């Protein structure tokens, strides 16, 4: 017996034609420098039209080259453009369809928007969409060819960095320093893909030229020679560097001391075979394309062709009413606008479905990662106890970090399975005013050992007891607060503090935490500064 409506209707669904669904593959959004925004937009539009004319297979009408609205009814392609002037703003949008040459029923759509207003540079955006009835869409995302031309000839900028259709090559320490400046630039909005050349090799395993061309405007691509890799490692540290033929994706917001697991590393061993190179290349392309979709907002950073067309028809309706046009003319304009609004709703619905799908994928990944992390923590706890039972103290010769740049990595490596820093705590240790990182590390080591043992095995109260000279452990009292960790709501009811009533942030230390019975770990909710609360 069927247990759900879906199962009961499956035989019927199998006989019905598959639903064609539109997927947005990628978005490119940036700006064009220059003293004349109108000329910059016109130059970029010509690159788009040259590309579209080759796609269409015949010459576009004169209106296209004049930057005006046009429609060219070509079966399966239908290139068209809309010029919309409203007040001081000037928008030009173009769209063309392209049936897939190998997959039946798959049709691509490319949209471009160029616009400018007085006092600001010209804005450029492009969208690539695909309509298909395939159950699973497997593609290697790549920007349309005109994006490469706009990047090269019009100096397309994304954030503070120039988009490029070719990789940057780093061969010296000076080049490595320049790459670090790019990676740590707070204005960088695109992922940076760093490919390295293996020792004794002449090129990275992944074709850097093809990758950079496919991801122009979506990612920065750099190739690092072995000599420059040493400089990169010296500057970033081994856990955040990349070398020996490996590849790494540095996401926007990267800084020295960042979480290495947030900037994924593809090991050289995964790239020595053709299939491994194909998998890694596809993943790099998908990562860059998805980052662009997440970074930009449809209707904000990027405008759709349907939205501009709807606005154009609305303006046309207004003009017809003011001109007292006939009812038939106004009705025709209204029907066109309704059609455009339906297309716009379809775009927004597709975007909403994309985010829902991404949410479900992220939720599933988070649940798996949390389960794996919990199992790993239990295993670490068991191995630590076994070592202690055999008379070996794994914490006896631990070297403490002397600077905050080493702190997060030290905590991850040394205290794994016993002490966990929340994202808020990680933010607190990035650039704290507190100068004494070593004392904070010594306090966390006490939490991981003696304090945690009191929670798990008993042995006396930990309220208002000295840890070492000048440092004590105490209940939070009025400073107790709730925080979220791994999808659960916890309460930080303990803190480690230094003595005295100083509020000087360079000397005042507070480490707020709780003990989590479920994972048997100390969870650091906030550190190393004193929290500002209603009580303080």
Task: Choose among 295, 115, 138, 285: nearest CA to 216.
Answer: 285
Element (H, E) at 200: none
Three-state secondary structure string covering 259-288: CHHHCCEECHHHCCCHHHHHHHHHHHHHHH
Per-residue pLDDT of the chain (536 residues; tens, 9 = 90+): 445 655 665 665 555 555 678 888 999 999 999 999 999 999 999 999 999 999 888 899 999 999 999 989 888 788 999 998 877 788 999 999 999 888 888 999 999 999 988 889 999 999 999 988 887 788 899 999 999 999 999 999 999 999 999 999 999 999 999 999 999 999 999 999 999 999 999 999 999 999 999 999 999 999 999 999 999 999 998 889 999 999 999 999 998 878 788 899 999 999 989 999 999 999 999 999 999 998 888 877 888 888 888 777 666 666 667 677 777 766 776 666 667 666 666 666 665 665 666 666 666 666 656 666 666 666 777 777 776 777 776 777 788 998 998 898 898 888 988 999 998 999 999 889 998 999 999 999 999 999 999 998 887 889 999 998 889 999 998 889 999 888 788 999 999 998 755 667 788 899 999 999 888 899 999 999 988 654 44
Q: CA separation (Å) from 350 to 76, 225, 263, 292, 340?
A: 21, 42, 29, 16, 15
CA separation for the pair 192, 525 (Å, rounded): 31
The C-alpha angle with vertex 127 and arms to 73 and 209, in degrees rounded to 5, equals 115
User: What values do phi and psi take at 466, rounded to 5?
Assistant: -75, 140
Nearest to 122 by CA among 40, 20, 245: 40
How far CA 133 is from CA of 104, 310, 493, 504, in Å, comes to: 10, 27, 54, 63
Report the alpha-carbon distance of residue 190 to residue 260 in Å, rounded. Answer: 18
Structure tokens at 239: 């856990």
Beta-bridged to residue 24, according to DSSP, are: 129
The four Cα atoms 126, 131, 132, 136 give a dihedral, to 10 degrees, of 40
Number of neighbouring beta carbons within 10 Å of residue 406? 16
Annotate 317-383 with DSSP letters as a single string: HHHHHHTT--HHHHHHHHHHHHHHHHHHHHHHHHHHHHHHHHHHHHHHHHHHHHHHHHHHHHHHHHH
Rounded Cα distance between 163 and 214, Å, is: 12
Closest CA to 531 of 477, 489, 484, 471: 477
Pick the closest to residue 126 from 141, 111, 115, 116 (CA basis).
111
DSSP at 167: -
């Amino acid at each position: 017996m069927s247990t759900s409506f879906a199962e009961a209707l499956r035989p019927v669904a199998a006989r019905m034609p598959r639903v064609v669904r539109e997927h947005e593959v990628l978005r490119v959004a940036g700006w064009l420098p220059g003293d004349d925004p109108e000329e910059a937009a016109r130059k970029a539009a010509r690159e788009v039209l040259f590309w579209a004319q080759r796609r269409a297979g015949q010459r576009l009408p004169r209106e296209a080259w004049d930057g005006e609205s046009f429609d060219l009814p070509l079966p399966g392609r239908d290139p068209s453009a809309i010029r919309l002037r409203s007040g001081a703003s000037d928008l030009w949008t173009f769209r063309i369809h392209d049936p897939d040459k190998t997959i039946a029923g798959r049709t691509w759509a490319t949209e471009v928007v160029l616009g400018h207003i007085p006092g600001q540079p010209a804005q450029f955006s492009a969208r690539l969409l695909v309509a298909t009835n395939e159950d699973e869409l497997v593609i290697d995302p790549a920007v349309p060819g005109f994006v490469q031309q706009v990047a090269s000839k019009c100096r397309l900028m994304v954030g503070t960095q120039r988009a490029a259709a070719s990789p940057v090559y780093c061969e010296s320490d000076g080049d490595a320093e320049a790459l670090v400046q790019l990676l740590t630039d707070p204005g960088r909005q695109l992922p940076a893909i760093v490919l390295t050349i293996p020792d004794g090799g002449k090129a990275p395993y992944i074709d850097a030229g093809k990758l950079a061309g496919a991801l122009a405007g979506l990612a920065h691509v750099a190739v690092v020679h072995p000599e420059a890799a040493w400089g990169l490692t010296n500057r970033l540290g081994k856990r955040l560097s990349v070398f020996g033929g490996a590849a790494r994706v540095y996401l926007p917001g990267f800084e020295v001391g960042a979480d290495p697991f947030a900037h994924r590393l593809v090991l050289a061993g995964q790239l020595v075979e053709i299939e491994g190179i194909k998998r890694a290349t596809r993943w790099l392309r998908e990562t860059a394309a998805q980052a662009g979709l997440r970074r930009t907002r449809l209707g904000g950073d990027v405008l759709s062709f349907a939205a501009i067309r709807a606005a154009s028809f609305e303006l046309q309706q207004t003009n017809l009413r003011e001109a007292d046009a006939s009812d038939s003319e106004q009705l025709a304009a209204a029907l066109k606008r309704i059609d455009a609004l339906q297309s716009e709703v379809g775009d927004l619905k597709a975007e909403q479905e994309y985010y829902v799908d991404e949410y479900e994928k992220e939720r599933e990944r988070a649940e798996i990662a949390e389960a794996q992390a919990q199992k790993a923590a239990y295993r670490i706890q068991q191995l630590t106890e076994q070592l202690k039972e055999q008379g070996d103290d794994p914490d006896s010769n631990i070297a403490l970090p002397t600077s905050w740049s080493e702190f997060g990595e030290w905590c991850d490596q040394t205290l794994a399975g016993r002490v966990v820093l929340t994202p808020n705590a990680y933010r607190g240790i990035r650039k704290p005013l507190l100068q004494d990182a070593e004392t904070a590390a010594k306090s966390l080591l006490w939490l991981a050992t003696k304090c945690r043992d009191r929670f798990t095995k008993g042995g006396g109260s930990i309220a208002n007891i000295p840890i070492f000279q000048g440092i004590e452990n105490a209940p939070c009292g009025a400073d107790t607060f709730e925080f979220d960790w791994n999808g659960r709501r916890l309460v930080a009811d303990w803190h480690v503090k230094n003595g005295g009533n100083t509020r000087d942030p360079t000397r005042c230390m507070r480490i707020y935490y709780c003990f989590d019975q479920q994972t048997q770990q100390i969870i650091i909710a906030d550190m190393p500064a004193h929290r500002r609360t209603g009580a303080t």
